[in-house]
Amino acid sequence: MSKQKVFQPQDINGILPPLATPFDSDENVDAAVLRREVQYMLEQGVHGLVPGGSAGEGYTLSVDELRQVVGTTCEEVAGRVPVVAGVIVNSTRQAIERSKALADLGVSALQITPVHYIYKNDDEAMIRHYGAIQDAVGIPIIIYNVIPWNYLSVDLLLRMMREVPGVYGVKQSASDVKSLADLIMRCEPGNRIYAAIDALLYPTFALGAHGAISQILTAAPGPCVELWKLVQAGDHMSALALHTQLLEMWNAIAGDNRLSVTKYALALQGVPVGSPRAPMAPASGQQKENIRQALAKILGDRMLQPAA
């Protein structure tokens, strides 16, 4: 795999969609469609890409599949924007194994969850976990703070960004705008706080988030780029109007099978990424109609083709 340009942490800002992993009818990675998806995202003006995350079903991918997905993304991006690779596993050993498998591909950062199988880890364990990964690969790390029973406090996140070399950012999820606001207010200038609160991108951008990594960016990359630009330009009236449309769209997506709906939304835009891996339920007829209407409203004539 050829390397791409590696961006510095301070350059990883703005709209960073998590790529949906395309699967064929046998649930194998479809590299050709992945390349098409990458090109579509770049055409929409995104500022970076995140393969192997939650929306990319990274938790279902083998090490070889993750390497294929990340490597294909890096090749297709060809240094135009940063690539942040997702690592979703349950032990330090597994995280190091996956991170090492990606180390030669030229990713600019890793997005890594706390371990997530039922158990809560204390602060010192989390310091050791992220420190060991950083020692093993030396790639900048974004902490993906999303696991309900291992949800990391603002104080711990700030401590890790201060004390663990290479841990420079947090992807703040779980609809927790208060913690995101505290992180933005208290972090160091070199840190980066990314919003992952799909329904509330506008207020998180207005609060000063350095960007976003969330599923709605996958479903509607162009409007999310537009929202980012409006807030950066200080046009809050237009941003609020677009927020309302994006909120309606997210309401059409939200649900336990929201990845199925998101993949259907991409298919409507001419990117046939297939279905999620079993056993996730497919999008229902009503969900398809709801997202079709929401997309038609927000995209207008930018919708490319019907989907099955």
Residues catalogued as catalytic: 144, 171
Closest CA relative to residue 204, chosen from 238, 227, 235:
227
Tell me the three state secondary structure of residue 151.
Answer: coil
Strands 109-112, 192-195: pairing kind: unpaired
Asked whether the beta carbons of 82 and 105 are under 8 A apart, the reply is no
**Residue 208: φ, ψ to 5°:** 110, 15
C-alpha 268/C-alpha 266 separation (Å) is 5
* CA–CA distances in Å: residue 190 to residues 166, 167, 206: 11, 11, 19
* CA–CA distances in Å: residue 91 to residues 170, 174, 242: 19, 22, 40
Asked whether the beta carbons of 9 and 168 are under 8 A apart, the reply is yes
Strand order in the sheet with 141-145: 14-15, 211-212, 192-195, 167-172, 141-145, 109-112, 84-87
